[in-house]
Amino acid sequence: MRELADLFLVFCRIGGFTFGGGYAMLPMIQREVVEQKKWATEDEVMDYFAIGQCTPGVIAVNTATFIGYKRKGIIGSIVATAGVVFPSLVIVIIIAAFLNNFSQLPVVQHAFGAIRAVVGVLICNAVIRMWKKTVLDKIGAVLAIGAFLVSVAFDVSPIVIVVAGGGLGILLPVLKGVKKP
């Protein structure tokens, strides 16, 4: 029961103190789950991010679900998911109740502009950390840059890009004749 409460509180903190959606939560998930709690390895979290990207829903919620499941099975996935969603639910209800009254005030518009800028930095930080951990060679760099360009230039679904990346990850070693132990 204590670990379930811990799962809820950790993901509640992640959900309550990161703004800007799922990608902005990634650095905090990394810090809390890998570095502090040691509930998963960096590789596992990267796998969760990749799977979370190509499954329906928000990447941070999907990642919380995977980590909760790893720790305590189905009940753990429910508790972790509830934890990451709970703060947003409360905040959205409060904002919705008052936003129409205050949204046109210059101070509110400036605050939203600053929040957007900070969220952009948080997302860039997540991208840089993921790049350092996952792009290990020239082929990986070419694949990553290619996936980025395809997603930006052609508006291809992330699911297609992830599946193609997985397929290339299987196919390239076969073409090169590399055998894994």
Is residue 126 included in any domain, yes or no? no
Confidence tier at 42 by pLDDT (50, 70, 90): confident
Between helix 106-134 and helix 22-29 the angle, nearest 10°, is 60
Q: What is the pLDDT of residue 56?
A: 77
Number of domains in the chain: 1
Tell which wins on pLDDT, 19 or 176.
176
pLDDT 10s digits, 132-162: 888 888 888 999 999 989 988 998 888 888 8
Mean pLDDT of the region 74-82: 95
Angle at 64 between CA 61 and CA 70, to 5 degrees: 145
Range of the domain at 6: 2-103
Q: Distance between CA 47 and CA 41 in Å, rounded?
A: 10
Q: What is the pLDDT of residue 31?
A: 87
Rama region for 20: left / alpha / beta (φ>0; ψ in -120 to 50; rest): left
Mean pLDDT of the chain: 86
pTM over 0.75: no
Is 97 inside a domain boundary? yes
